[in-house]
A and B are shown apart, each in its own frame.
Chain A
Amino acid sequence: MIFNELAIVESTEEIASNTFQTFLKSPKIAASIKPGQFINILPSEYWDKMMRRPMSVASQKDEVISIIYKVVGEGTELMQNWSLGDSVDLIGPLGNFWDGYADKLSILIGGGVGIAPILNLHNHLDELGEEKVLIMGARNSSEHFIDHNPENGVYMTTDDGSLGIHGNVLEPLKIALENIDIQNVKVFACGPPAMMEAVRQYSISEGIECDLALETLMACGFGICQGCTVEFEKKQKTTEHSYRNRFGLVCMDGPIFESKEIKSCHL
């Protein structure tokens, strides 16, 4: 069930360089959203752009959800300037959710603000007591807000070596896979297209099960505009909302897709 709910801003914090986390009181969405799903935000009452701004949910607890975002344009600028107590028009929960982690080693990979849906899955696996590894990639240490802690399965990587492992997220992924039966592993990733494409190709070449959360421009977020397409590797069965089998809708069939299912993460 999709809700159009007025949420109340509870707090906003700069958790890393130009990266903000905002907590929103949104009882209906908080009670029903699943890790991996997203919401579509009207950044302000006076928003005159045509499109809402989709954001993954980074945490959910009681009546409160949070989002993590980088300020890249007008919409995210408005979000960063929300005041305590402001009401914000949300549509959600939207899209599919992370699945298939039971009784497996889950390797969670987040890059940039793609960490949001990864963090929510991380919290969920914590609650369930499932085994997991967390890998986060960024350009430099200023973009990170979690400690590098390999002993506990938490790896930070940076392109410039200023924190954690010098290199990209594939390095710790290879470490995490050492001496492990890949049949018992599943990778969950969300991040910039280039990062996800690297993870996608690696997972396919190694035969590892891997789900990826994609991002693309969305006019609606709930299956009406048909604008948010991803090309499938093989033709699929037509579903209720996807009119033909060559393309899927990121907002309805996704945002999460199996690595083998799609042609590319570059949309």
Chain B
Amino acid sequence: MSSVKFGKLDFASPILVASGTYGYGHETKSMVDVNGIGGIITKSVTLHPREGNPPPRIAETSSGMLNSIGLANVGVNEYCKSKLPYLNELNTKVIINIAGTAVDDYVETLKILESAGGNHVGYEVNISCPNVKEGGMSFGVSAKMTESLTSELRKCTSKLLIMKLSPNVTSIEDIAVGAENGGADALSAINTLVGMGIDIKTRKMKINTTFGGLSGPAIKPIALANVHKVFRAVKIPIIGLGGISCVEDIIEFILAGADLVQIGTLNYREPGISIRLAEELDLYCRDNNLTSISDLKGLAEYR
């Protein structure tokens, strides 16, 4: 398989699985060789456990879905106790996604994870969850706050530090630059878009919290545009995600400026999709005489 350089790291496959769409990596192990996945980004973990939002939390939409899970998670201490040991045994790269409500939360969560002695290669910082009032969104919409949060976290770790950007902003470029100035190693784009659905029979909102996060193929063109905007604004590497469902999508993201990609919603339907697409990507590289898919980064031409 063609490996991909990403900062100081080598990824065996450029296809990772997105936070919140692959649990803690163990749920699918009887169906999928999880070590064949380029990397696993675990469900957002917060300083304290969170029970999440009341049901209904999900709805199906045209080529997508709405979710409002509300960052349900066991909390960082339990994460270190019950999730890290399994993750440590994996041969794929593990990235821990963290979320918080204030700078101190993020910092303390990261410090606890740093001292837990995990084999994880880095952190993805969720500053873009649209589904909880305090989901870090206040950081994600302000370049200044993104920069100061990034620099505080930078002081606590030498591991890969990735800021995950929201598309629900006026200028994603500004936020991206803030994260770059704060010392982020890389950026992930994008998180879900704010969406809504109504059941016309009952006239009730489909999601308990009214608004939810839209994901899946429906958002791919928006994700692609955001990745390209970020690509033009910063020099650090980019992980592109949002609606990826086939190898052509992956090539598009890389041409738009991504170094790596993540698959999210499609994992639910096909838990082994990231491995299947990695094989297809290898075939594509062979057929097109590419030594690495990275050769295509940002090569999309303007008309």
Contact = CB atoms under 8 A, between A and B. Distances in A.
B195 interface: no
Looking at chain A's contact residues, is the secondary structure mostly helix, strand, loop, or mixed? loop
Interface stretch (A9-17, A45-53, A150-158, A190-198): A45-53
A50 B269 contact: yes
Interface in A1-29: 1-4
**Most B C-beta atoms less than 10 A away, residue of A245, A247, A267:** A247
B7 interface: no
Contact of A217 (B20, B60, B266): B60
Interface in A172-227: 216-217, 219-220, 222-227
Interface in B244-290: 265-272
Contacts of A267: 55-56
Interface residues of B, number: 41
B78 A238 contact: yes
A242 B30 CA distance: 19
A246 B51 CA distance: 7
A225 B268 contact: yes
B232 interface: no
A227 B57 contact: yes
Contacts of A224: 21-23, 27-28, 267-268
Identify which of A52, A228, A244, A267 gathers the most chain B CB atoms within 10 Å of its CB.
Answer: A244
A42 interface: yes
Given A51-B269, A219-B65, A222-B27, A231 B74 contact: no
Given A50-B265, A243-B72, A225 B21 contact: yes
Interface in B89-124: none
Interface in B189-217: 216-217
Interface string A22-60: 000000000000000000001000011111100000000
Contacts of A3: 30-31
B221 interface: no
B82 A240 contact: yes
B235 interface: no
Given A4-B31, A238-B49, A244-B49, A50 B60 contact: yes
A103 B217 CA distance: 52
Nearest to A241: B27
B58 A217 contact: yes
B298 interface: no
Contacts of A52: 268-269
Contacts of A225: 20-21, 58, 67, 69, 268
Interface of A: 1-4, 42, 47-52, 91, 216-217, 219-220, 222-231, 238, 240-241, 243-247, 267
25 contacts: A2-B30, A4-B32, A4-B272, A42-B269, A48-B217, A50-B216, A50-B266, A51-B65, A216-B56, A217-B59, A217-B60, A219-B58, A219-B65, A219-B268, A223-B27, A225-B20, A225-B67, A226-B20, A226-B57, A229-B54, A243-B50, A244-B50, A244-B51, A247-B54, A247-B72
Nearest first, the 6 closest Cβ-Cβ pairs linking A and B are A244-B51, A227-B58, A220-B268, A224-B23, A4-B31, A229-B55
